[in-house]
Structure 1
């Protein structure tokens, strides 16, 4: 299996190194081989050459089975430049319309909320919605300057993401929550609600609710255990999943998968955290989000046994105070955590 590796910026390079170590350990134990090709795409390349990746970068990625990404972003490069120069083009050209973000508690990781245990998944629409390129700026620099950003919701796009979420809920605990705001956003989100209701008829075994975004934002904090699968638009899914990661104890442990369920294009796996320039190079970055993302990649590649072994290694490592990084109240370095993960996964 051929893996394109894009470490990116900041701690991305450090956590991707940890993920590769864990992948090497578990692949050796389970008798398969991964082949890596690393690309130096990111903000450093942008400052050097004026582009986050080469002009043929998207074509190059199509030949791989999966993509493993670290993090993108660095001071001096505007966030919209780094994001739209690498991550979003990969997602859209590779038709990775599902952004999957599992959230759960682990023994040893203190959660800031009352409920001690929860396990749910945020399914985010990943290629349209509020993050469209439709819009523009007028009268730049004048008092009457104007900015317009259009949200694009298509029947095909909403149907496929909602269908994916219902199918996932049917495999889990049979409960889906749709995050909407159709009382205030009167065109796109009533349209979203209609399609959710339509798709629900195809999944009679799944109980479902539609809740205005305000409600799950509060309930993620007050009652996270009530959720199973949460589906939302590009913007709502992005915000809710980051909130959920913090509720679980640290954004440093949160993984994500950018999936093309048709498998026509390679899918991409990345930790949710950013490039964290403030701690880059200090050795304290948490590698768990990247390693868990690698486990999601293994599952997508048809190695659920190896994925389960990596997740078990994460559970074992987080349970020990001596192998938790400072963001989780520990004192371990990324190297010490990685070594513990490798020992447990081997």
Structure 2
């Protein structure tokens, strides 16, 4: 019996609604497999936890979850209660940084039964590999002076080690897909970090002669995501560029509510963390209409991470069968509830 121990952090808003639904799906998959068990331990860390305790997680929070096989996160953030920079840096980014989750992976593909806002999406299927530990989101910088003289400095940090490992991860993924990697750059405007990025990309690409490559400036690449998404396979990008591109990827799929993500630890010292892209969606909390697909597709990525790729593929096929039958939440043109969509996915899985 293979037991996968998961630290479950529903977090804020609709995270508390979709995480239990995805757990139901994983339990059904375990039933289907027979030799697989998921054990969930829930942690109440959230903005409400912050209001009661003065922090997003306990002082020993990371110690509590470091020995789990994976972390399953729902959503973080509620601006009405806690400023975003406090909630994110106190929980999500804290876990990413201190657990060395240096790679972020987000797929975007045309899902059967979900209308893309693109007039001719041409069955796109792409994967963005985002450097997840440094780049433009470094914590180096500060603010000085006051009033008219006030000055803010934010330093972008690009190390060879961090840049190389993101690029190698992207090339290895491309070898299992269609064999093409696109580098997101802006070396015509950012004169130090992006030429460095380009140089490293050229060096790494020499180690993968079977993989085709190209390099696109981020402004043009963002436009191509909308006009020609079918041309892309794997895209490797810095922290900021990857963040922007993956939200465009979610948008062209038809809803940010269906987009999954994985924060990958590649050295095996700490667990990886899996989360949907959608956030806490405060406008629909408690209405029973939150789209569970983002969290369930995230569970598929977690299955893949644990070597259960056949089960992961079966899960994604089941999601697409359900959406193609018109069983969808309102954000993607349906009338079904969160629970109804999940139940149909489970029925399809087990059929």
* TM-score, normalisation: structure 2: 0.96
**Structure 1: 4+ residue segments shifted above 2 A:** 261-264
- In structure 2, the partner of 1:156 is 161
Contact 2:48 2:81 in 1 (8 A): no
- In structure 1, the partner of 2:104 is 99
Pick from 34, 37, 42: which aligns with 1:33?
37
Cα separation, 2, equivalents of 1:194 and 1:307 = 36
- CA offsets 1:308-339 (integer angstroms, 9 cap, x no match): 22112111111111x10111111111011011
Give the length in aligned residue pairs.
344
Residue 147 of structure 1 and its aligned partner are, at CA, apart by 1.1
- In structure 1, the partner of 2:92 is 87
Please show how residues 261-272 of structure 1 align to structure 2 within 5 Å.
261-272=266-277
Residue 167 of structure 1 and its aligned partner are, at CA, apart by 1.2
Cα separation, 2, equivalents of 1:28 and 1:49 = 38
- CA offsets 1:84-142 (integer angstroms, 9 cap, x no match): 010111011111111000111111110111224110101100011111110111124x2
Pick from 319, 328, 345: which aligns with 1:341?
345
| 2:23 is the counterpart of 1:17 | no
- In structure 2, the partner of 1:290 is 295
Cα separation, 2, equivalents of 1:305 and 1:170 = 18
- In structure 1, the partner of 2:310 is 305
Unaligned runs of 5+ in 1: none
Unaligned runs of 5+ in 2: none
- In structure 2, the partner of 1:119 is 125
| 2:318 is the counterpart of 1:317 | no
Residue 143 of structure 1 and its aligned partner are, at CA, apart by 2.2
- Provide the aligned C-alpha RMSD in A: 0.9
* TM-score, normalisation: structure 1: 0.98
Residue 186 of structure 1 and its aligned partner are, at CA, apart by 0.5
- In structure 2, the partner of 1:171 is 176
- CA offsets 1:239-263 (integer angstroms, 9 cap, x no match): 0001011001111111001011232
Pick from 216, 226, 230: which aligns with 2:231?
226
